[in-house]
Every structure is written in C-alpha cells, then in structure tokens.
Amino acid sequence: MRAKFDDASLGFQQSALVAQFAEFLRRSVHARGDSIDDLAARCAALATRIGSAEFVEFAKLVDASRTLIVSNLARTDELTQAVDLLRRNHMLSAELNQLAQAQASAVLKQLEEQNRKLEDEIRRLIEQRAK
C-alpha cells in the first residue's frame, strides 16, 4: 500500500518540503519536472496547519523566490541530460562495487568456514584410519 504525503506526520511533511526547496535551489535533477508553484502552495497550506512562525516565514520565502527559481532553472538540454546520466551511472557503479565487495566478503567467509569444517573432517577421518 502506498502512503499519501498528506497522511504523513506534519514533521515529515515539513522536512520533505524544506528538502524539496533545497533541491530547487541547487537545480537538482530531483527537482526537474516538479512545480515550484505546487511546492509554494503546499508550504503555505502546511504553515497554517503547523502554526510555527519559522515555517510561516519559510513558506513566505518559497513564495517570494518562485519567480527567481523559475527564471534560473537549468534547461534540460542534451548536455545536461548526458551529464545527469553519467553522474547517475557513476553512482550506480559505486553502489554495485560496494555490494559486490560485501557479497564477495560474505562468500569468502562462507568458503573459509567450509574449508575449516572439511579440514576438521579430514583430520578426523585420518585419525580414524590410523587406529
């Protein structure tokens, strides 16, 4: 079952909206295609529910910065898309290398344990034959 954003705790919603605003400011690929108008509306609605003076001020900041953000958003041209894809591929490669190392380490430990048991069994069998 997929949870709805509006069903999450107010603290989670606040943190998510602040993080999303940060993604807009850094022109992140994660904000591409999202609506700053929708973000501003969500911030304003949440500010009235939370009642926190700091978050009310944050919602006003998001609203005031909408025009600047829209006019300065990175264009999604071929170069930007290629750089984003390369960055994503490097991240995936690093994650796969970490996973491979962890799995290799687990397999190596498993083999060492099997070898230890086999060596013990061989010793036992040799001693048994020597009697």
Query: How crowded is residue 68: how many other Cβ atoms within 10 Å of its Cβ?
Result: 11
The radius of gyration of the chain from alpha carbons, rounded to an integer in Å, stands at 27
Q: Do residue 96 and residue 55 come from a single domain? A: no
List all residues 6 or more positions away from 66 whose beta carbon is below 8 Å from its beta carbon.
Answer: 36, 37, 40
Task: Name the domain count of the chain.
Answer: 2
Q: Do residue 80 and residue 61 come from a single domain? A: no
For residue 18, the enclosing domain spans: 1-74
Percentages helix, strand, coil for the chain (3-state, rounded to 5) are: 85, 0, 15
Q: Which two tokens stand for residue 30?
A: 């994660």
Q: For the segment 50-86, what is each residue's pLDDT rounded down to a tens digit?
A: 989 999 999 999 999 988 877 766 556 677 777 777 8
Q: For the segment 2-26, what is each residue's pLDDT rounded down to a tens digit?
A: 578 888 899 999 999 999 999 888 8
* CA dihedral over 81, 21, 25, 88, signed as positive or negative: negative
